[in-house]
Amino acid sequence: MKRHMIGLDIGTTAVKAVLFDMDGTFIDKETGDYPLHTPDAKTAEQDPDEILERTFRALRLLVSRNGCGHSIEFISFSSAMHSMILLDRKGERLTECITWADSRAGDYADRLNEADGLEIYRRTGTPIHPMNPLVKLLHFKNEEPELYAQIGRIMGIKEYVFAEISGEYAVDRSIASSMGLMNLETSEWDTELLSMLELSADQLPELVDTTEIFSMDEDAAGDIGISQDTKLIIGASDGVLANLGVNAIHEGDVAITVGTSGAIRTVIDRPRTDVKMRTFCYHLTPGAFVIGGPVNNGGVILRWIRDELCQQEISEANTCRRDPYEIMTEAAESVPAGSDGLIFHPYLAGERAPLWDAKAVGSFYGLTLSHERKHMIRAAMEGVVYNLYSVYLALREQMTEVRSIKASGGFARSALWKQLMADVFGEALHVPESYESSAFGACILGLYALGEIDSLVAASRFIGEDEAYHPDEETYMKYQDVMSVYIEIGRSLGAFYGRMQELRK
């Protein structure tokens, strides 16, 4: 009987259950969407039970459609980082799932940064920012002390789902290191931080390696329709697994993922932090760590441009039965590199790397009467790439060499996006033939955990041929001129972000 594996990726807006055979061949995928609740500018929550229901439904449908209930060797888990759910001592929820996008703890991030934030970052590898569960906990401790006093358990969305499927309360060290509470050197909960928060290690999940193997809960196996003998690999965070999924696992291999948000990462063999706190450092396996930077503003920028500025393109798309993004991209392609002097800073959702400023706001600079909507579309696309390039420059300072740049995510479907990135970075951009890089990366980690492959380097044999986009030298030089202006303007505007926040109240 043919054997199969499932990569389960619990993302910010959807869960994806992806079926592969044991040779890494993609077979099928089932997706379950769920909303992000943003009742005000700072709150970004989700219903964890809704995510749990969508997860079980996606697994059930995938298994039943493919008739593979008795051939699933393992399910390996991937998840978005920085989420937090508080439960009381009886296991009842005190909060919704507070996501990375929630910025209510902004004041406490500022206070911590003014005190000993840099030292905490050096110990944990997680920048001090409202996304950080450490900072979220500090907010609750001071702003909602009665609720805080009831905390029995603290977990993220991955641990919430994993507990239901396995019956175990555990967290992998990859997700744990993004909580801002795990010491990178010891790979254990940081006792000083727990003392500061007046918490005990018993209120946090058991720390395990990303290759830890668990058993299926009997009821969960029956609900999904698979054998109880199916193994569960706890897996890691979606970011570090995306590196595995595109075979960017040697130092010098850079992986760029752009979906709704985005990130740039590379794998190193020991913990390393940045003196300016521009990048993160997260655990992958005991001998592998991932450094890089996440950005809030990826494909969400183009979606905002579509919804707010491109009603004409939407109408044309409906008439022609085409995707509005195709029409928008065609318009952007008619505009020269640099958008005729129009620059867009894409901080519509605040920003993590390289600014780590939740108060950051977006702006068009250089608008004139000669600019049209197509210039704004292209400037927005360029702005997203400029911001990623800024993170790359910070990451580059911590690397001895760049061997390759590999891209994945929704943006990789657009030739303009990919050529634009090659031209701005001035490097060849490789787009591997890989399906759902985080889910596939989870499966590669599962194969390694079970001894089916002897090292993560063996991932290369599962990745198909890639397509390459090479920079145009003249365009690259043009973008270097634009980048210097982009960075200078950004530095100048930074002084006004706090004042702009006050004006919005």
Residues of the chain with CATH 3.30.420.40: 4-247, 296-400+474-500
Confidence band for 1, pLDDT divided at 50, 70 and 90:
confident
CATH class of 4-247: alpha beta
Please list the residues that pair with 77 across neighbouring strands. Answer: 8
pLDDT at 336: 98
What's phi and psi for 266, nearest 5 deg? -145, 155
Q: Looking at the predicted structure, is the pLDDT value of residue 12 above 90?
A: no
Ranges of beta strands (E only) in 226-311 are: 231-237, 253-258, 262-268, 280-285, 288-295
What are 118-156's pLDDT values in tens digits? Answer: 999 999 999 999 999 999 999 999 999 999 999 999 999
- Residue 402, SS3 per DSSP: coil
Average pLDDT of the chain, as a whole number: 95
State how far the Cα of 357 lies from the Cα of 147, in Å rounded to an integer.
27
CATH pick for 296-400+474-500 out of 3.30.420.40, 1.10.760.10, 3.40.50.10860, 3.40.50.1950: 3.30.420.40
Smallest Cα–Cα separation from 269: which of 257, 255, 254, 281? 281
- What distance separates the 2 farthest-apart alpha carbons in the chain? 67
Q: Looking at the predicted structure, is the pLDDT value of residue 311 above 90?
A: yes
Total-model pTM:
0.92
Cβ pair 391, 264 in contact under 8 A: yes
pLDDT at 54: 98
220: which residues sit within 8 A by CB, 6+ positions away? Answer: 56, 164, 165, 166, 167
What are 365-415's pLDDT values in tens digits? Answer: 999 999 999 999 999 999 999 999 999 999 999 998 999 999 988 888 889
Look at phi and psi of residue 212 and say left if phi exceeds 0, alpha if psi is from -120 to 50, else beta: beta
